[in-house]
Each structure stands twice: as C-alpha cells, then as structure tokens.
Amino acid sequence: MLRRVSAKHIYICSPSSAVRDKAAVRRGIKRLQALGHDVEVDPDAFTSHMRFAGDDATRLAAIHRAASSGADIVVTTRGGYGLTRLLPAIRYPLLKKAVDKGTQFVGLSDFTALNCALFAQAKATSWQGPAVGEDLGAEEPDEIMLDCFEDLVEGRGEGSGWRLPAAEAQSRFREARGVLWGGNLAIIASLVGTPWLPKVRGGILFLEDVGEHPYRIERMLTQLLHAGVLAQQKAILLGQFTNWRPVPHHDKGFKMATVVAWLRSQVKIPVLTDLPFGHVPTKVLLPFGVPVHLAVDGRDAYVVWGHRH
Amino acid sequence: MLRRVSAKHIYICSPSSAVRDKAAVRRGIKRLQALGHDVEVDPDAFTSHMRFAGDDATRLAAIHRAASSGADIVVTTRGGYGLTRLLPAIRYPLLKKAVDKGTQFVGLSDFTALNCALFAQAKATSWQGPAVGEDLGAEEPDEIMLDCFEDLVEGRGEGSGWRLPAAEAQSRFREARGVLWGGNLAIIASLVGTPWLPKVRGGILFLEDVGEHPYRIERMLTQLLHAGVLAQQKAILLGQFTNWRPVPHHDKGFKMATVVAWLRSQVKIPVLTDLPFGHVPTKVLLPFGVPVHLAVDGRDAYVVWGHRH
C-alpha cells in the first residue's frame, strides 16, 4: 500500500478508552510514516487510567494539544468510552479555530460525541472515519478504508457510493440534499436533550452500532423518533450493526430487519441500508456537518460532498 | 404466607415482553388467589409475538383493558421491552380516570416508561414494584417484597427504610422533601428529550438497572446530568445495579463505586446508595409522582409518603 502521497502532519491522540492493543496502534503509526507522513503521537496516547486513556484532565489536555498542533489531520487511537463526560470542558473555540485553519478531526464510535458537540457548539465540521488501532493498524488493513483515508489526506475525496439491497432499488426515492451527520447510535441517543446534540434540520443522518441487540437499537431509534430528531431529516442511512448476540428462545424472529421495517413504518423519509460504515473493516470516511447530495440509481447509492479544498 | 387480607381485584397484564416462564406467572397468580384476591388475567397475558407479549395493538388493548377493568391493582407479568414504542398511542385520560377511581398500576424495569408517561401526560401517580413472574411467582418469594405488596393491597404502606453504607452516615445530609420518581435508568435515559419524561422539579429520583456495565450506567447518568435533570432534583437514591459483567484487563478498577464517586463530584445534592430496589428479590414498593419525606438518621434512611387512603 505504498503510494506517493503528499506528506501531511498527522496527530494521534486518545480521547476515550485506554489503548490495550499497543502493537496495533504502533503498526498504524508505522504505516502512516511509511506513507511519508509526519506523524506526531500525543504524549498521553498510551496512557491508562482505569478504562480511560488517562484521567479527564489528561484526555482533555490531549484534545486541546491536538487542536493546537497545527496538524492537517487528527486521528484517534481508538474509541471506547470517555468523551461524553468531557464535553462540558472542551474548548470549542480552540477546536473551531483549528478546523478553520484546516485541521480535520477524524474518528468513530465514542468520537461521535466530539463530532456532535463540535458541530452543535461551534458549527465546526469533522469526519467519521477510521481509528489508528483497529483500522489503520490492522494487520491487513482494508483497501477501501485505506483508499478513503488517502482521499482525505490528498483532499480529493468527493463522496462515497455503495450497493443497496435489491429490495431498496424498488423505492421511488431518487435524491435528497442536506447536511450529512451521524455516527454511533448509542452516542447520538445519549446526547438527546443535552447541548451537545446538533439540531440539524433537513439533514441526512447515518447510524451504526456494535454489540447492541436489535431491541436496544430500536429503543434508541425510538428516542430519536420521539424527540423529533428523525422527523427533521430528509433521509436515514443505516450502516453496519454488528457483533450482537441473539437471545435464543426469546427473539422468535425479532432481528435487525424487523427493526428496519418498523423504522420505515414510523417515518416518511427513505431509510437506506448497507452503508459501508461501522465497526467493520470496510468503512468509508464520511464528513460530519457538511452539505451532501444523496442519490439512488437502481441499486447504487451515492453520497457526494464535492470538493472541500 | 397466608395472611388475612382484604380481598382485592387484581388485574394481570403483559405490556412488554412475552412471558417465557409461564410456570412462574401461574405460581404468582395462585399465590395472589390464595391470599384471597379476585385475580383477573388479561386474555393476552400469555400471548407471544416475536419478543413481545403480542403485537403493538394487542399490548395496547391489554393496557386499556386493565385501565377499564376497575381493578384495585394492576400488575404486570414481567418487564423486558415493548412499552416505549407504545407510548404515543396510550390513552392517558383513560388511565388517569382509572387512577383517580383508585386503580394502582404497579411494575418495574420496562414499566418505568409507563410510570413516566402517565405522570408526564396526566399527572397520574403509579408504583414501582414487583412483577408477577419473577417476584410474586418466585418459588420462594422474598418476605420484604411480599410485605410491601401486602401493605399496598391493604392501603397501609407509609414508607420504606433501608440501611446506608457506613461511609454515607458521615454525610451532613438529614432530610429533604420532594416528589419521588424514578425506576430503570436505561428507560429514563431513553425518554430524555421526549414528551414522556416528566419534568419533576425538586424531586427525589431513584434509579436501578440490570445487565449494564458501570461505564454504560455512567454514560446514562451523564445524559441526565447534561440534560439538566439531575440539577433539578433534591436527592438521588441509587438502588441495585446488578448482573453486569466486568471486562477483565480493561476495567482496571473502574466499577460501580467509581461511578458513584464520579456522580457525587458532579452534583451538589446527596446521592444515597443501597436502596433495596431493582432486579433483585428483595425490593420495596415505591410510589411514582408522590410527595415524600426523605430522612437520614445515622445509617438509617427513610422514604415516607404518608397515608394515601
């Protein structure tokens, strides 16, 4: 995967859980260096305090160092848990200034809390995309994920496309325009009613989750539904909902497809599935807070955000 | 446990998950009958539709039948999942009318959604208390739980007391008065931002949960904190948080006590623990939406709601 790319300043930090698979993060760092990048690793990237990558003050300082680093791209070692409790203490104007100067923050899972708060508090855009440990540092990183990351690095990403299930090609939906936002459903649901959930009207909302039984997915979607969040969107894109355990002898046919069918019965907007995003190797990068054009042509779906540079 | 009690009309229904342990529910029914009560079992109490005790229309009809039954007490077979998605369709004025005529709705876990919505929509009070299957139908029902249930039946319940951990006796907190409300934390968190969460100012909030790792408990408490719910309370009572699995080699000392300490650092109100309520055999009954007097004397804590009849 050695390609000639413009060398960029990439800052790696740990705002959430402590790194346990240090080898994977080191592989990710080496891979980025091998691509010619100037990789700066936050001094507390490998710090551990209980489940966290350092106590609150440590992780907060890491986020602010990342914002002050002048890096082109800030990526995280991993997700996990820890950002929601930091949200009131983050210096959003500092991060907004970094974004305005060209720093692009990238992350997923727990990082969704920062994507949301940044946009809610400062209208600053960011990215949902790979983490260093699980994705960039995988023994055999996914090609699509790497290509998308390179597109980001090169500033040439214009959108993502994916293949819809056959049944969804039947829909009359053709296109919509709106602000793309979303990420981890559990995090987004946990921000409802707080100042950290952006109020996106006419948006296109994408969602993914890991380790959550479909009944919990449904309960979280119900919260977004009853809080009026879904009614304000133009479309919902469902990514991958993985690694949950069925409850034999109790589910009796209740599964993710049941939840998707129920969701469609509750909203008047298109619900597209199979978006290649989530806790899976093959993931695209998706901008958060950016106007996009969503289009469907047969079984092909596209999200296009045009040139950002 | 045969005591002479006034015979009451007890209605049993299933608003949430399907009953799988039918023997336990049947034992509970027989136990109530042996106590001399007139037990009416909803025709769909044992119905099963996927995970649910019947589809939405079936469970909704059961709730409305219970409200129209004229029963003194409505209890549920079990909790599980299913009430949140019914909330917009429940006829609150019908339930309010039943409550005004003396029907007391009792339940826990998923039932918290109904406790909350009833109070938010109609200012109708209800109870957090045992379910028929797991509690009243246990092979050896807990004596305290049964005594509390009898107190409810007899209309003589005046409050509950429990023993605080030694460290909490040191606190300077002595007493508070406010509206008692609460129940399952996951359900309450999932109602934030929706019309079904009551806005209780100056309240006393009790919380319990099952099968949720402390980091998830903390994330849910963070939602209540950031949504401003906790700041409006006079005290928080933590019940039992049970049946969660530690994550070896990652928690590194992060446990429920960590979460309780963190919560205390975030709020200015007393946080009392060890309330005997939750997914445990020994549980008291607690009124929802009723003014109570909370008092602490050494290691003894009391919640007193006085005579309701």
DSSP labels, B169-223: GGS---EEEEEEEEEEHHHHHHHTTSTTS---TTEEEEEEEES--HHHHHHHHHH
The CATH number of whichever domain residue B67 belongs to comes to 3.40.50.10740
| Partners of residue A185 in chain B, C-beta under 8 Å | none
Say yes or no to pLDDT of B306 above 90: no
Q: Is the predicted pLDDT of residue B5 greater than 70, yes or no? A: no
Residue in A193, A247, A250 nearest the CB of B223: A193
Would you say residue A4 has pLDDT above 60? no
Residues A148 and A163 in one domain: no
Q: Are A62 and A93 in contact (CB under 8 A)?
A: no
Domain identity same for B115 and B164: no
Domain end call among A121, A154, A187: A154
The pLDDT of residue A251 is: 97
- The residues with which B304 forms a beta bridge, in sequence order, are B159, B293
Test the B interface: residue of A86, A252, A255, A265 with most B CBs within 10 Å: A252
- Whether B215 and A51 lie within 8 Å, measured CB to CB: yes
A153: part of which helix (H) or strand (E)?
helix A143-154
> Which pLDDT belongs to residue A3?
53
Q: Please state, in angstroms and rounded to a whole number, the distance separating the CA atoms of residues B144 and B248.
A: 35
User: How many residues does this entry show for chain A?
Assistant: 309
pLDDT digits (tens, 9 = 90+) for B243-290: 999 999 999 999 999 999 999 999 999 999 999 999 999 999 999 999
Residue ending a domain, choose from B100, B128, B154: B154
Residue A111 lies in a domain: yes
pLDDT tens digits, one per residue of B153-182: 988 889 999 999 999 987 889 999 999 999
B129 and B213, same domain (yes or no): no
Residue A307 pLDDT: 53
Q: Please tell me the distance from the alpha carbon of residue B105 to that of residue B35, in angstroms, as a whole number.
A: 19
Q: Which of B51, B88, B249 is facing A254, going by the closest CB pair?
A: B51
Name the residue among A83, A305, A280 with its Cα closest to residue A188: A83
Tell me, what's the pLDDT at B4?
54
CB contact under 8 A, A51 and B88: no
Same domain, A94 and A19: yes
A1 belongs to a structural domain: no
Instruction: Quickly count: other Cβ atoms within 10 Å of residue B55's Cβ.
Output: 14
Q: Cα dihedral angle (B162, B168, B171, B177), rounded to 10 degrees?
A: -30
Å from A144 to nearest chain B CA?
Answer: 30
- The pLDDT value recorded for residue A1 is 47
Is a pLDDT exceeding 90 seen at residue A87?
yes
Task: Convert the pLDDT of each residue in A13-23 to its tens digit.
Answer: 999 999 999 99
> Is A87's CB within 8 Å of B251's CB?
no
The answer as to whether B84 is a domain residue is yes
Size of interface A-B (CB pairs under 8 A): 104
Mean per-residue pLDDT, B136-157? 94
Is residue A5 very low, low, confident or very high in pLDDT (cuts 50, 70, 90)? low
Predicted confidence at residue A6, as pLDDT, reads 76
Chain B contact set for A220 (CB, 8 A): 190
| Angle at B236 (CA atoms; ends B106, B274), nearest 5 degrees | 75
Q: How confident is the model at residue B2 (pLDDT cuts 50, 70, 90)?
A: low
pLDDT one-digit tens code per residue, A155-182 = 888 999 999 999 998 788 999 999 999 9
Say if the Cβ atoms of B85 and A251 lie within 8 Å: no
**Nearest residue in chain A measured CA to CA from B255:** A50
Tell me, yes or no, whether A2 lies in a domain: no
| B309 inside domain | no
User: Measured between alpha carbons, how far is A131 from A75 in angstroms, rounded to an integer?
Assistant: 6
Specify the 3-state DSSP secondary structure of A52.
strand
Q: Which pLDDT score is estimated for B3?
A: 53
d(CA B77, CA B136): 9
Write the CA distances from B72 to A218, B26, B202, integer angstroms.
33, 20, 30
Kindly determine whether residue B252 and residue A48, on different chains, have CB atoms separated by under 8 Å.
Answer: yes
Q: pLDDT averaged over chain A?
A: 95
Residue A221's contacts (CB-CB under 8 Å, 6 or more residues apart) are A185, A207, A230, A259, A263
- Confidence check: pLDDT of B208 > 90: yes
How much of chain A, in percent, has pLDDT values that exceed 90? 93
- A113 and A180 share a domain? no
Indicate yes or no: CB of B252 within 8 angstroms of CB of A51: yes
Q: How many CA atoms lie within 13 A of A167 on its CB side?
A: 8
Share of chain B above pLDDT 70, in %: 97
Is residue B171 located within the same domain as residue B127? no
Q: Is residue A309 part of a domain?
A: no
Same domain? B211 vs B245: yes
Cβ neighbours of B247 in A, within 8 Å: 51
Contacts of B249 in chain A (CB under 8 A): 20
Residues B140 and B164 in one domain: no
Give the count of domains, chain A: 2
Residue contact B222–A84, C-beta within 8 A: yes
Note whether B51 and B16 are within 8 A (CB): no
| Chain A, nearest residue to B226 by Cα | A194
End-of-domain residue from the set B127, B154, B181 = B154
Q: Do B146 and B170 share a domain, yes or no?
A: no
Note the pLDDT tens digit of each residue in A12-69.
999 999 999 999 999 999 999 999 999 999 999 999 999 999 999 999 999 999 999 9
Is residue A137 located within the same domain as residue A166?
no
Q: What confidence tens digit (pLDDT) does each residue in A255-271 have?
A: 999 999 999 999 999 99
**Which chain B residues are closer than 8 Å to A262 by Cβ?**
85
Kindly state whether residue B4 falls inside one of the protein's structural domains: no
What does the pLDDT read at residue A100?
98
Q: CB of A185 within 8 A of CB of A263?
A: no
Q: Supply the range of the domain harboring residue A98.
A: 9-154
Task: With cut-offs at 50, 70 and 90, classify the pLDDT of residue B307.
Answer: low
pLDDT, one tens digit per residue, over B59-105 is 999 999 999 999 999 999 999 999 999 999 999 999 999 999 999 99
Output the domain CATH number for residue B174. Answer: 3.50.30.60
Residue B3 lies in a domain: no
pLDDT at A231 over 90: yes
Catalytic-residue membership of B139? no
Burial level of B170, CB count in 10 A (0-12/13-18/19+)? Answer: exposed
The single residue of B14, B16, B17, B109 carrying the catalytic annotation is B109
Q: What is the mean pLDDT of residues B198-212?
A: 98
Interchain pair A226, B189: CB under 8 A: no
Other Cβ atoms less than 10 A from the Cβ of A199: the count is 10
Q: Are A169 and A249 within one domain?
A: yes
Nearest CA-CA partner of A174 in A284, A270, A53 = A270
Q: Do B37 and B131 reside in the same domain of the chain?
A: yes
pLDDT of amino acid B309: 42
Q: Are B218 and B262 in contact (CB under 8 A)?
A: yes
